[in-house]
Amino acid sequence: MRVLSWHVHGSWSTSFLAGDHDHLVPVVPGRGPDGRGRAATWDWPASVVERTPEQLRALAADGGIDVVVLQRPHELDLLTRWTGLVAGKDVPAVYVEHNTPSGPAATTRHPCADVDEVARGQVPVVHVTAFNDLMWDCGTARTLVVDHGVADPGHLWTGTAAHVGAVVNDPVRRWRVVGTDVLLRVAHAVPVEVYGMGVTGLAEHLGDAAGTVLHEDVPQAQMHRMLARARAYLHPFRWTSLGLSLLEAMALGLPVLALGTTETPAAVPPGAGVVSNRPDELVAAARRWLADPDEARAYGDAARAHVLARYSLAEFLLRWDTTLQEVTS
């Protein structure tokens, strides 16, 4: 199939684009949010090609778009303005919901729930976790869950560095949502290295945790090698969908320290890490693993085994093939 999708979430797209389809990714001058084109820090296959809005309109006129994968509410309108096609009417489409509700947890209406084609089930809403499916009010829309899948980066964990690693994008702007306050609390107790976009903004908030090391927007493969030196992985997120960085860290062989919120308890089973809503318990486990690399290794081995079985890339791509075939049949 020729699949049109916007470059919104780089890690998720890296898994999604690994399948056998041909992918069209919009690109605009300046590579703004509605046309980032191909990723600069992820390795995407040659089957992913950039197309301008004008090129997409020409393709649409020739029937050259088989299915559209939408990820943001305004893409419904963007699709029509750029191509003349209405999702679910003129072209098969699905809407992927990556996030937890940003309003009241159990009563927030999904922004697409009342769009005619969505409400009638012509554009199903695909949630990336069962927790998201549970919490969003999608009205009469047809919903399904396609869990994340991650490519196996290899068992790279060495744990030779006596620190904890974390991956958090925009930790200052998203503060409590991504658990930046919890991250800093841990960083005051044990050494922490933080990776992600916008992490340098944390520098002015470190206080006496000034020994924390910040790594700004490191390419994925390089970040994996660097992260694998950490003794353990910290996932301080309070209220976001299940982070792919968590699953990638587990696949590397890192033991996990995580808050027990959203989908995390299902992703990190006993033996793969310590899941607790008490930050002091996460600190205690971090200190224990810093003193006992063998215990950390055992937890990390269990984490890797679980994520490769539960979140395999092959299963993810198979589920998506099935979903795309259903909406285009």
CATH number at residue 216: 3.40.50.2000
What is the reported pLDDT for 43? 82
What is the reported pLDDT for 252? 98
My answer on whether 144 and 232 are in the same domain is: no
Q: Tell me the C-alpha distance between 271 and 268, whole Å.
A: 8
Does 125 map to a domain?
yes
My answer on whether 302 and 319 are in the same domain is: no
Q: Coil, strand, or helix at residue 77?
A: helix
22 contacts 1 by C-beta, under 8 angstroms:
yes
My answer on whether 219 and 195 are in the same domain is: yes
My answer on whether 168 and 144 are in the same domain is: no
Query: Which residues of the chain carry a pLDDT beneath 50?
Result: none
My answer on whether 228 and 298 are in the same domain is: yes
Does 102 map to a domain?
yes
Q: Tell me the C-alpha distance between 311 and 200, whole Å.
A: 31
Q: What is the CATH number of the domain that holds 89?
A: 3.40.50
Q: Tell me the C-alpha distance between 51 and 34, whole Å.
A: 12
My answer on whether 116 and 167 are in the same domain is: no
145 contacts 121 by C-beta, under 8 angstroms:
no
**Mutual angle of helices 180-187 and 279-291, in 10-degree steps:** 40
Q: What share of the chain is helix, strand, coil (3-state, %, to 5)?
A: 35, 20, 45
User: How many CB atoms lie under 10 A from the CB of residue 319?
Assistant: 16
What is the reported pLDDT for 231? 98
What is the reported pLDDT for 40? 85
**Structural domains in the chain (count):** 2
My answer on whether 65 and 141 are in the same domain is: yes
Domain of residue 52: give its range.
Answer: 2-149+313-328
Does 191 map to a domain?
yes
My answer on whether 184 and 97 are in the same domain is: no
pTM of the model: 0.92
End-to-end CA distance of the chain: give it in Å, rounded: 12
Closest residue by Cα to residue 132 from 262, 35, 14, 246: 262
Does 230 map to a domain?
yes
Does 154 map to a domain?
no
Burial class (CB in 10 A: 0-12, 13-18, 19+), 203: exposed
What is the reported pLDDT for 211? 84
What is the reported pLDDT for 10? 87
My answer on whether 179 and 63 are in the same domain is: no
Q: What is the DSSP letter of 247?
A: H
My answer on whether 121 and 257 are in the same domain is: no
Q: Tell me the C-alpha distance between 91 and 93, whole Å.
A: 6
> At a CB cut-off of 8 Å and minimum separation 6, what does 311 contact?
147, 148, 149, 150, 247, 267
Does 156 map to a domain?
no
My answer on whether 294 and 195 are in the same domain is: yes
My answer on whether 70 and 145 are in the same domain is: yes
Closest residue by Cα to residue 257 from 167, 319, 326: 167
Does 155 map to a domain?
no
Does 280 map to a domain?
yes
Cα–Cα distances (Å) from 313 to 15, 165, 221, 289, 317, in that order, read: 7, 24, 17, 29, 6
What is the reported pLDDT for 118? 95
